[in-house]
A and B are shown apart, each in its own frame.
Chain A
Amino acid sequence: MIIAEKKPIEEIIDEVKDFSRILILGCNECVTVCEAGGKKEVEILASALRMYFINKGNEKKVDERTLERQCDHEYLEELRSNIDDYDAIVSLACGVGVQFAAEKYLTTPLIPGVNTVCLGANEDRGLWTERCQACGSCVLARTGGICPVSRCAKRVLNGPCGGSTNGKCEISKDVDCAWQLILDRLKALDKMDDYEKIAPIKDWSTDRAGGPRTVTREDVKI
């Protein structure tokens, strides 16, 4: 899923301070699961903003709403009848949701309330970690199911580099060396011979290098 984290409240206050009627808009998908932008976080942020501006003697209308998905026209349409009630929307969706809402409601300022971090998983309570960088050309079949593009700090395709120490990356003792993980998997799969296969130079045109990416499916078009 998409992992996000809450922006510092000071940053949000600074962005909304000149608006009087604000909607805090949550999303019931990824950001709910990673506890950054679901119904609960909408309530907390809305309360904090209300209190802050009341204390400043500048009471504002701060409403709450959480859509099923913000990356979907159908659900974003639910706002249409109320959109003129607000001077600005603080969206707690990922960057996709914020932009989709901005594209739909051209004259309403859209302010992101979270930082979108990565494609990852909930590894432990309170810990989300990256697993994929959406490079557009998956190499996992050749790397024991562990991704060197997203999990190696140098995205080395023929690793590990010389900085791997005790299974950890040179950038931090808290970061696993992706290539150690790959080797552990290859060993478990009894495929260590695969290690000596040279990964060819990668076609990064499917990555961000190729510009904004699209998937077109004629078979599912109406």
Chain B
Amino acid sequence: MSDLNTASNLEKVLKAGHIGVTSECGPPRGSDAEEVKKKGMLIKDHVDAINVTDNQTAMTRMSSLAACVHLKLMGIEPVLQMVTRDRNRVALQSDILGAASFDIPNMLCLSGDHQSFGDCAQGQNVHDLDSMQLIQTVRHMRDEGKFLGGDDIKSPPKIFVGAAANPFADPFEIRVPRLAKKIACGAEFIQTQCIYNIDKFKEWIRRAADRGLTEKTFIMAGMTPMKSVGMAKYMKNRVPGMDVPDEIIARLAGAGKGKQAQEGIDICVEHIQELKEIKGVSGFHIMAIEWEEKVPEIVERAGLYPRPEV
């Protein structure tokens, strides 16, 4: 995993053997870019790259690509998230080229939440490709220098390709085979679903390591600090594929009013410190949802600051 395929800082950090750190920004529900720029400024010095979500939970927002461009123009490295829900293969390939034209060097390939969760429940979904096939598409464009249709690409896109993995979704037994499939499709880094069930995550990554998968991709553990016990209960009961153990809820509840947010940060920091020591964990993806200002504190307290210069 040592040769560099792109100009991505994230790729350099990970391949140099450092623990990588990424975070994310959700684009605004409007056309004012200040919001995304502000979020970017809050976290840029504490991460190697910033993911920009693509109409997450199927709520219509400023396009991920446009928000990435705003960050890039500020000197911040984006990870372009792209879902297969809203674009066919023409649009996906076209946006990949558009991203590369702005030197956006990272992409995360996703299927996306079903549109029924969002504000366009009556809309069509596309799913011309699935997330694995999107990974293959980017790799094909980059490595073969060809479009899916077979024509040569003038200046192929140099993009470091990532995928998501959910160690907690059902059925558990295919979680590692599914990771293997994404790696076989060409995923060079993995950002996981938010981890709260540490034991289950350790079991997942142990099985992945047993198959040699942690040598073939960089696994970045997903971390989302809980703001309150209400948020923890919502995540447990309402968010598909999320595993929040009862002891996390009990610990937040036990912290008492006014102190739950700090307890949530403490839990997050402790989890990072614990997982840093686990074989196969190459980095952390800290998703502080509408709480970006807490990312620097988490990164610093977890011993991941300053970020390496590579």
| B241 engages A154 (CB within 8 Å) | no
Of residues 193 to 221 in A, which have CB atoms within 8 Å of B's CB atoms?
195-196, 198-201, 204
Q: A156 — nearest CB in chain B belongs to which residue?
A: B130
B171 touches which of A180, A199, A204 (Cβ 8 Å)? A180
Count of interface residues, chain B, beta-carbon cutoff 8 Å? 35
Q: B130 — nearest CB in chain A belongs to which residue?
A: A156
B129 touches which of A180, A196, A201 (Cβ 8 Å)? A201
| B127 engages A183 (CB within 8 Å) | no
Q: Known contacts being A198-B132, A198-B184, A201-B136, is A154 close to B148, with CB within 8 Å?
A: no
When distances are taken between beta carbons in the complex, the residues of chain B under 8 Å from A177 are 170
- Please tell me if A108 contacts chain B, counting CB pairs below 8 Å: no
| B241 engages A159 (CB within 8 Å) | no
| B132 engages A158 (CB within 8 Å) | yes
| A165 engages B240 (CB within 8 Å) | yes
| B133 engages A158 (CB within 8 Å) | yes
Bound together, the chains give a CA A159 to CA B178 distance in angstroms of: 8
| B169 engages A160 (CB within 8 Å) | yes
- Please tell me if B185 contacts chain A, counting CB pairs below 8 Å: yes
Q: Known contacts being A163-B113, A165-B170, A183-B171, is A158 close to B181, with CB within 8 Å?
A: yes
- Please tell me if A109 contacts chain B, counting CB pairs below 8 Å: no
| A201 engages B133 (CB within 8 Å) | yes
B169 touches which of A163, A196, A201, A204 (Cβ 8 Å)? A163
Bound together, the chains give a CA A200 to CA B140 distance in angstroms of: 13
Q: Known contacts being A154-B85, A195-B177, A198-B132, is A161 close to B185, with CB within 8 Å?
A: no
| A171 engages B177 (CB within 8 Å) | no
Q: A193 — nearest CB in chain B belongs to which residue?
A: B177
| B130 engages A164 (CB within 8 Å) | no
Bound together, the chains give a CA A156 to CA B111 distance in angstroms of: 8
Q: A163 — nearest CB in chain B belongs to which residue?
A: B240
A162 touches which of B148, B166, B181, B185 (Cβ 8 Å)? B166
Bound together, the chains give a CA A165 to CA B172 distance in angstroms of: 10
| A201 engages B148 (CB within 8 Å) | yes
Of residues 57 to 73 in A, which have CB atoms within 8 Å of B's CB atoms?
none
Bound together, the chains give a CA A200 to CA B164 distance in angstroms of: 19
Complex interface bits, B149-189 against A, C-beta within 8 A gives 1, otherwise 0:
00000000000000010100111001001101100110000
- Please tell me if B193 contacts chain A, counting CB pairs below 8 Å: yes
| A180 engages B241 (CB within 8 Å) | no
Q: A159 — nearest CB in chain B belongs to which residue?
A: B130
| B170 engages A166 (CB within 8 Å) | yes
When distances are taken between beta carbons in the complex, the residues of chain B under 8 Å from A164 are 169-171, 240-241
Q: Known contacts being A162-B166, A165-B169, A180-B171, is A196 close to B130, with CB within 8 Å?
A: no
When distances are taken between beta carbons in the complex, the residues of chain A under 8 Å from B31 are none
Complex interface bits, A152-182 against B, C-beta within 8 A gives 1, otherwise 0:
0111111111111111001100000100100
B127 touches which of A156, A162, A165 (Cβ 8 Å)? A156
| A153 engages B193 (CB within 8 Å) | no
- Please tell me if B114 contacts chain A, counting CB pairs below 8 Å: yes
Of residues 110 to 131 in B, which have CB atoms within 8 Å of A's CB atoms?
111-114, 116-117, 125, 127-131
When distances are taken between beta carbons in the complex, the residues of chain A under 8 Å from B111 are 154, 156, 161-162
Q: B193 — nearest CB in chain A belongs to which residue?
A: A162
Q: B128 — nearest CB in chain A belongs to which residue?
A: A204
| B241 engages A165 (CB within 8 Å) | yes
When distances are taken between beta carbons in the complex, the residues of chain B under 8 Å from A180 are 170-171
| A154 engages B185 (CB within 8 Å) | no
| A162 engages B164 (CB within 8 Å) | yes
| B114 engages A163 (CB within 8 Å) | yes
Q: How far is the CB of B273 from chain A (nearest CB, A)?
A: 26
| B170 engages A167 (CB within 8 Å) | yes
When distances are taken between beta carbons in the complex, the residues of chain A under 8 Å from B114 are 153-154, 163, 170-171
| A155 engages B170 (CB within 8 Å) | no
| B171 engages A157 (CB within 8 Å) | no
The winner among A158, A165, A200 for most chain B CB atoms within 10 A is A158
Q: How far is the CB of A182 from chain B (nearest CB, A)?
A: 10
Q: A172 — nearest CB in chain B belongs to which residue?
A: B116
Subset of 29 A-B contacts with CB under 8 Å: A154-B84, A154-B112, A154-B125, A154-B130, A156-B111, A156-B127, A156-B130, A157-B133, A160-B170, A163-B113, A163-B169, A164-B169, A164-B171, A164-B240, A164-B241, A165-B169, A165-B241, A166-B170, A167-B170, A170-B240, A170-B241, A180-B170, A195-B174, A195-B177, A196-B180, A198-B184, A198-B185, A200-B133, A201-B137
Given A155-B130, A165-B169, 14 more A-B residue pairs with CB atoms under 8 Å apart are: A153-B116, A154-B127, A158-B181, A160-B169, A160-B174, A162-B164, A163-B113, A163-B240, A164-B170, A164-B240, A177-B170, A195-B174, A198-B185, A201-B133
- B residues sitting closer than 8 Å to A (CB atoms) are 84-85, 89, 111-114, 116-117, 125, 127-133, 136-137, 148, 164, 166, 169-171, 174, 177-178, 180-181, 184-185, 193, 240-241
Nearest first, the 3 closest Cβ-Cβ pairs linking A and B are: A162-B166, A170-B240, A163-B240
